[in-house]
A and B are shown apart, each in its own frame.
Chain A
Amino acid sequence: MSETAQHSPHHIDVKEFHPRAHEALHNPQIRHNFRKAMDGLMTKRKSAFEGWDLESLRDLGANVRLRALANLPDLLEQLEKKLTENGIKVHWAVDGDEACRIVRDICKARDAKTVIKGKSMVSEEMELNKYLEEHGIEALESDLGEYIVQLAGETPSHIIMPAIHKNTGEISQLLHDKTGTDLSNDVEYLTAEARLQLREKFMNADVGVSGVNFAVAETGTLCLVENEGNGRMTTTVPKCHIAVTGIEKVVPNLEDVTALLALLTRSATGQHITTYFNMISGPRKAEELDGPDEVHVVLVDNGRSSIYQDDELLDTLRCIRCGACMNHCPVYTRVGGHTYGTTYPGPIGKILMPHLIGLDEGRHLPSASSLCGACGEVCPVKIPIPDLLVRLRQESVDGDKLHPAKVRGHGAKRNALEAMIWKGWSWMHARPGAYRFGTNMAARLRKLQPGQMGGWTQFRTSPKLAPKTFHETLKERGQ
């Protein structure tokens, strides 16, 4: 995946996080749209878990995911065997480009010109739409939010609600400009128009491409969670269905799905369940009257097997993509999803993207956090996101001897002066004499402290050193 840096969405430079954050913070529309949406989502999530023993449920969710990861290679083989027995063709892709090629080759073999898509974050990661367009295949998003974002030539700003950064007026104008609908703030009208436009596309598309929420090894079943019905259309109407999924989505048993589903929809949107839970275990049988003749699954690695190597980083792969971490993140709520410049924004993006694009490109991601801990507290599978952020911060300055850095691009933020200061700091704190001398000197020379301290004093008053050291104060109190 070394080419990803040049090949990120719309060539957004992930490193330019700060200027984008500054711009977003001064955009009242963005601030308002995200604040309103995130406040609503937090309240809904809370009420959806009322009456549940949430801690035990989260423990179960975490254990289900950890059990799956513990047997990942065996489960993938079992899944492949079951899917194949069921008549589904399985493909493996080491990275996004290979996955794109596989999808294109399937389309080519069928002489397919149009692809209709259900929502899939892995396909965003692969930048599948762009790739297919470049190879003469039209790829159209059918989830309403994704459709809006695609019409606008943008990328999703939230993994569950892709168009959350736009308000009704903006969407009405966009649909008017691109599809000729009337200008209207009536959401029902806008939705009905989109229904008509997309129904035509469903009827005529040659191939449907979807994501997968859970892949069940024991039965060879692909599970899709959705509200709109576009996922069912995508996987049923075209003659060929291609499901793309990260290799970490496999679980051993159908039973596991009940726990993850209970957590996923409540954490994501505060729904007890989504309108549709679609379980696909095979193509159309000879006697059946609808459904695709061909079903393919593309198992995409794209950096996941690297994350899998490390005991701590492995927890990143537990994620079930609910988006609760971003809904509860004070940074995400203020800067919005596009500021990150990455496929996955918010806390999960900050711990996942550095593995996909490298810590040199994603150097600002782990630091774009106040470490308040909200993401870790709401995560339905208990990913210790704040700990992982700290770990990646260590990696980005190359850590120390006890914690050797491993992530690609590690050390990108290492600064010789800063490293020297911290070395001196740790030397002083390991020697009581030097420590007393140092703190005494700091107290005596406090008048020499500069008034301006760079970024710190830009928005805050500068901290003042006390006239006496802590030891001196305690001694005076007679302790």
Chain B
Amino acid sequence: MSSREAILQRLRNRAGGELTAPECDFSVLKRPDWSTSERIALFERMIESVHGEVHHCTEDSWVDRLAEILGSRCARNLLIPKEHEIGVKLRSSTLEREDLPHLLIYDEAIESWKSVLFNDVDASITSTRGGIAETGSLIMWPNTDEPRLMSLVPPIHVAVLFASELYTTFHEAMQAQNWKAGMPTNALLVSGPSKTADIEQTLAYGVHGPKELIVLIIE
């Protein structure tokens, strides 16, 4: 008998007989209907409590703000999506202005440029699929345009969040976006920069992933 059959058979022929499944009442996870501004305020408070940085922008002002933020950090380059409107806008902006860092595109398989990504990329910018106010989380579904490592390897990660896509709870976001219909190869909730408290419970940021997480909320 294979191990699979042995395990399943032991579980099926349970000595104590069949078990009854209890009802699950998820209402404890529900929250009142908050306004967008209440959700933004809560999101901001939660993500700042874990060292995330929030900037309020508009469709017209976010590139200016991004240039300031990256300028103050002396970032030499910025990894951008190729197809997404964020990337398109940045590429057209860079023709008119000189205060943006050198733009890089993640359009080759990681194997061909791993050491550059790990050692020479200072910052990245990605879109999000919305946010969660209650926990200060960003929802991300990496894809070919914005691969998985884009939000993980560079020391500074900038994420663009549309205020209209801010949900109150994870439960609500998952239902509203109908996740159970099909999940991508990788989906993420990101809440703050990478951190550890493994040395005597002292917080330190950027242990493996970004040291800084900067959220541009577009209102």
Contacts and interface: CB of A to CB of B under 8 A. Distances in A.
A163 B200 CA distance: 8
A262 B29 contact: yes
A247 B7 contact: yes
A245 to B, nearest CB: 13
Contacts of B184: 281
Contacts of B20: 70
A68 B12 CA distance: 14
Interface stretch (B33-41, B68-76, B94-102, B190-198): B190-198
A277 B189 CA distance: 5
A195 B207 contact: yes
Contact of B180 (A228, A253, A308): A253
Interface string A166-202: 1110010000000000000001101110110011001
Interface in B164-199: 169-171, 174-175, 179-180, 182-199
A276 B198 contact: no
Contacts, number: 258
Contact of B26 (A218, A230, A255): A255
A142 interface: yes
Given A71-B21, A278-B188, A232 B152 contact: yes
Contact of B207 (A94, A228, A269, A289): A228
A168 B202 contact: yes
Interface string A52-64: 1100110110011
Interface stretch (A72-80, A360-368, A416-424): A72-80
A273 B7 contact: no
B135 A73 contact: no
A143 B208 CA distance: 9
Contacts of A53: 28
Given A162-B198, A191-B196, A290-B110, A236 B148 contact: yes
B2 A227 contact: no
A164 B197 CA distance: 9
A294 interface: no
Contacts of A254: 174, 179-180, 183
A56 B190 contact: no
B28 to A, nearest CB: 4
Contacts of A145: 196, 198
B144 interface: yes
B22 A66 contact: yes
Residue among A92, A229, A269, A299 with max Cβ neighbours from chain B (10 Å): A229
Given A56-B28, A230-B208, A275-B190, A191 B115 contact: no
Q: How large is the interface on A (under 10, 10 to 19, 20 to 34, 35 or more residues)?
A: 35 or more
B85 interface: no
B185 A283 contact: yes
A279 interface: yes
Residue among A253, A254, A299 with max Cβ neighbours from chain B (10 Å): A254
Nearest to A256: B24
A36 B107 CA distance: 49
B185 A285 contact: yes
B143 interface: yes
A73 B152 contact: no
A79 to B, nearest CB: 12
Interface string A393-416: 000000000000000000000000
Contacts of A426: none
Nearest to A312: B16
Interface in A239-255: 247, 253-255
Contacts of B3: 92-94, 98, 301
Interface string B32-50: 0000000000000010001
A63 B23 contact: yes
Residue among B16, B46, B193 with max Cβ neighbours from chain A (10 Å): B16
Nearest to A289: B147
A269 B24 CA distance: 25
- List the 9 closest A-B pairs by CB distance, nearest first: A229-B209, A145-B198, A229-B208, A70-B21, A191-B204, A70-B19, A277-B189, A229-B194, A273-B135
Given A219-B180, A219-B182, 12 more contacts: A66-B22, A67-B24, A76-B7, A98-B3, A163-B198, A187-B202, A229-B209, A258-B169, A269-B197, A272-B191, A278-B186, A291-B147
26 contacts: A56-B27, A66-B21, A70-B19, A92-B3, A92-B7, A161-B197, A168-B202, A187-B204, A219-B182, A220-B183, A221-B187, A237-B114, A255-B171, A258-B26, A258-B171, A259-B24, A272-B46, A279-B186, A281-B183, A281-B187, A283-B185, A284-B185, A289-B110, A290-B110, A291-B186, A310-B16
Interface of B: 2-4, 6-8, 10-12, 14-16, 19-29, 46, 50, 106-110, 114-115, 118, 134-137, 143-144, 147-149, 152, 169-171, 174-175, 179-180, 182-202, 204, 206-210
